[in-house]
Structure 1
Amino acid sequence: MFDGPDHRTAWARWPPPLAYCVPAHYDRSSVSDILELLRLAKQREASDLHLVMGSPPMARIDGALQVLDEYGMMLSEDIQAALMKMTTADQQAEFATNLELDFGMALEDVGRLRCNAARQRGEISFAIRLLPAEIPTVDGLELPEVYKDLAMKQHGLVIASGPTGSGKSTSLATMINHINHNRTSHVVTIEDPIEYTHTNFKSAITQRQLGTDTLSFATALKHVLRQDPDVILVGEMRDLETASAALTVAETGHLVLTTGHATGAPEAIDRVVGLFPPAQRYLAQIRLAATLIAVLGQTLVPRAGGKGRIAAVEIMLGTSAVKNLVREGKIHQLHNVIRTSSKLGMVTMDQSLARLYVQGLIDAATLLAFCQNTEEVEEIAGTRLGYLR
């Protein structure tokens, strides 16, 4: 990958709006650079690497950003050269036109990467997510057993929700991995970009990437039924067209796995409904209620001892009570149903955090920092947290 044409020549192919020229004197090997940086980030078990002009490289380790002191301030030329070495001419042209670029790639000794280039204050910033070399398992990530149960469902909709960096796509990859090793299915994934590459085991897995294999989530979903799928993974329900198409696929008797950016399970439902115009929201609620299997709201929190992170998971299952509230648009009542349905396997985020604390997996400070209802958490955990305020 790094033995291609000299980056000065390649950069000249960029369209005029961003036709930066790497200065003639630029022959540093600093971005020996990007590969060296990525190897260091991997060695330190970082999840992300950030390159911004005027700042040293920063890596997110155990959820916190840390400066890589071995390197000085990043120059504009450093980041430009790094981007040139990691992208194709078509991707460079796309970035020049759209000022944004998402792409995935794999590097020897580093593994798969999910990358984003953007503009900030007229310069390029670069964020790189380092993905595990192997697809994690549900047990390996210490996720609840419900992830395995949901992966074996034959039809319906499962939404994994959470903020950016909460492990949603990794969790869905573990579910696809579980399907692959435990049932015979044709799985079609539609991703932006592909993060984990699956090798067929019991299932046949077709992986499609936006930009190279299909134009959009919605376009791929319109044609996916002709590919004889059993399971469809949709990277994200980010717009009306995608949400409607995903519901249609779920309505036709397929298992659909997708993600959403929301802080909790009820909020994820509200966000999906909110993608539809007001005149269509009641019908959207009916369609959601008919297809919903579960919403898994998750966030990553620091482990006790400060080494690594673990997922706290809110579980909302598509019971009759949940479906009725979704159908009627009474989203604000869903939290109480989750809170009082532990015998059915539902768990609020606070309950999940409290259980992690009781198991010794997180400490009291983390429990207090991430919980919403201190009194409820104290009751479950059997301890007082007020002294930590």
Structure 2
Amino acid sequence: MSNPTLPFPLSVNFTRDEFYEFLRAATSVASDILIQSGDYGWVEVYGKQLKATTRMLEGTEVERALGFLYDGSGVSQLADGKPIDDEVEIQAIPGNFDRVLRYRLNATGARVGRIARGISITMRVVPEAPPPYDDLKLPQDITDNLFPRYGLVLIVGTTGSGKSTLLASANRRRLEAADAPVKIITYEDPVEFTLGFGYGQTPQPSQVQIGRNLTSFGDAGRNAMRRKADVVVMGESRDRESINACFEMALTGHAVYSTVHVDTPAEVFARMVSFFSEEAQPAAANKLLDTLKLVIAQKLPRTTDGKRVAVRSWLTIDREVKRALEEEPFERWGGITRGFLEQRRTSFDYQALPLVADGILDFQAFRDVTNMTIREAAAFLEEHGQANRVPANRQQLLEAA
């Protein structure tokens, strides 16, 4: 089949080659692919779910698809209550081994509609390479503080907010800076972007997959300390061991990057400290303050033309911020941080405002980014000269809310 389009006509007895052709067609437009028992195939395009197959797939067909993606033990593994998380690669062009399409695979046993013992397969498309750093059009204040010689940089946001893309683009910039060779090692679950840049002018990154190359994130700190890297990427700070590893590496002269699942920079301190026992929390908060250089939060709201745009909130942990936090118990740091975000106009409220003024974000998208109520969003936009962007039926919206 040449130039296949969606929805894709998967035959009843589809072969591995035909299934891969469906994946290639879906990958050409989508960020995520969903395959489930007794359901159509679906793809996510700019945050919207679109039908990807011309018919529903039987349970045995989804089992066959899982066999193509994983191996013959996949179905029994799901039956034992063990979900599958793995990395999948297929040839981008059949017979061409130079280019591959990569996916993050999750398969979970589930009830799907009326199918009691079904399978739900989610495949997140991993782009071949992160975008060039300059394409992200980051504010100069972020660029000025994103590449420290040592210390901790946190990139935060919810699932699907582009944290990994931003982090990989920053590392691509480091690798392509011919005058500053660096040794980069990453710890990821799974490995997402392949960081193959700057051949011959800097060491190629060593990317470790947790669960395959190393048992857990808790082992990453000890491993990294023995490898004498300049830059260490801890894919996610998800427990006390991985957070302690970030502290240790940052305090011993490494530039450390990690991601955290929180919504805004103001939530970082409480989230990171929460992994420690109550008596250990003050010491953990102080270590975080000693090592932290920059926090960037990112969201990807839908634009008025149906696409996505990155909106970022950030805080540079400079001397002014450190002094203000050091003078107060760590339980109050969230409120103080929010004050700095508003004062410096690096909160989501102020960063989304120009996009509303330019008609890129509508009223609802502004609310999604800022987490404001209808009343708060309307008042904020009116106060900042954007009353014309508040829906005319504001009263109806308020009553509905």
The TM-score with structure 1 as length reference comes to 0.84
Contact 1:166 1:298 in 2 (8 A): yes
Deviation at 1:282, TM superposition (A): 0.5
| CA distance in 1: counterparts of 2:350 and 2:195, whole angstroms | 33
| Aligned residue in 1 for 2:128 | 133
Instruction: Check if 1:341 corresponds to 2:340.
Output: no
More divergent stretch after superposition (121-130 vs 223-232):
121-130
| CA distance in 2: counterparts of 1:164 and 1:65, whole angstroms | 16
Residues 107-140 of structure 1, C-alpha deviations (whole Å, 9 max, x = no match)? 2226221111122134321111112223212332
| Aligned residue in 2 for 1:382 | 386
Picking from 97, 108, 118, the partner of 2:108 is 118
| CA distance in 2: counterparts of 1:114 and 1:57, whole angstroms | 17
* Aligned 1:231-246 pairs, distance under 5 A: 231-246=231-246
Instruction: Check if 1:148 corresponds to 2:143.
Output: yes
Contact 2:146 2:153 in 1 (8 A): no
Picking from 91, 101, 104, the partner of 1:108 is 91
Counterpart amino acid of residue 299 in structure 1: K
CA gap 1:323/1:51 in 2 versus in 1, 3 angstroms: farther
Deviation at 1:222, TM superposition (A): 1.5
For these two proteins, the number of residue pairs brought into alignment is 357
Deviation at 1:94, TM superposition (A): 6.6
CA gap 1:270/1:91 in 2 versus in 1, 3 angstroms: farther
CA gap 1:62/1:223 in 2 versus in 1, 3 angstroms: same
Deviation at 1:369, TM superposition (A): 4.0
CA gap 1:53/1:145 in 2 versus in 1, 3 angstroms: farther
Contact 2:109 2:120 in 1 (8 A): yes
Residues 359-385 of structure 1, C-alpha deviations (whole Å, 9 max, x = no match)? 443334422443324133443463341
Counterpart amino acid of residue 216 in structure 2: S
User: Could you list the runs of 4 or more consecutive aligned residues of structure 1 that deviate by over 6 angstroms after TM superposition?
Assistant: 89-94
SS state at 2:315 partner: strand
Instruction: Check if 1:190 corresponds to 2:194.
Output: no
* Aligned 1:160-199 pairs, distance under 5 A: 160-182=155-177, 183-199=180-196
More divergent stretch after superposition (198-207 vs 283-292):
198-207
Deviation at 1:324, TM superposition (A): 4.5
* Aligned 1:1-389 pairs, distance under 5 A: 28-29=13-14, 33-43=18-28, 45-68=29-52, 70-88=53-71, 99-109=82-92, 111-121=101-111, 122-182=117-177, 183-201=180-198, 202-204=201-203, 205-306=205-306, 308-324=307-323, 326-327=325-326, 328-329=329-330, 330=332, 331-342=334-345, 347-371=346-370, 372=372, 373-374=376-377, 375-380=379-384, 382-384=386-388, 385-387=390-392, 389=397
| CA distance in 2: counterparts of 1:146 and 1:64, whole angstroms | 33
Q: What RMSD in Å do the two structures reach over aligned CA positions?
A: 2.5
More divergent stretch after superposition (225-234 vs 108-117):
108-117
| Aligned residue in 2 for 1:21 | none
| CA distance in 2: counterparts of 1:131 and 1:249, whole angstroms | 28
More divergent stretch after superposition (317-326 vs 33-42):
317-326
Counterpart amino acid of residue 64 in structure 2: A
Contact 1:76 1:124 in 2 (8 A): yes
Structure 2: unaligned runs, 5 residues or longer: 1-10, 93-99, 112-116
Contact 2:150 2:256 in 1 (8 A): yes
| CA distance in 2: counterparts of 1:153 and 1:93, whole angstroms | 47
SS state at 1:229 partner: coil
The TM-score with structure 2 as length reference comes to 0.82
| Aligned residue in 1 for 2:5 | none
| CA distance in 1: counterparts of 2:324 and 2:66, whole angstroms | 48
Contact 1:355 1:381 in 2 (8 A): no
Contact 2:66 2:74 in 1 (8 A): no
Deviation at 1:323, TM superposition (A): 2.9
CA gap 1:98/1:36 in 2 versus in 1, 3 angstroms: same
| CA distance in 2: counterparts of 1:38 and 1:380, whole angstroms | 46
Counterpart amino acid of residue 197 in structure 1: T
SS state at 2:300 partner: strand
Deviation at 1:272, TM superposition (A): 0.9
Contact 1:62 1:302 in 2 (8 A): yes
Deviation at 1:245, TM superposition (A): 1.3
| Aligned residue in 2 for 1:19 | none
Aligned residues with identical type, % of pairs = 26
| CA distance in 1: counterparts of 2:295 and 2:318, whole angstroms | 11
Contact 2:41 2:57 in 1 (8 A): yes
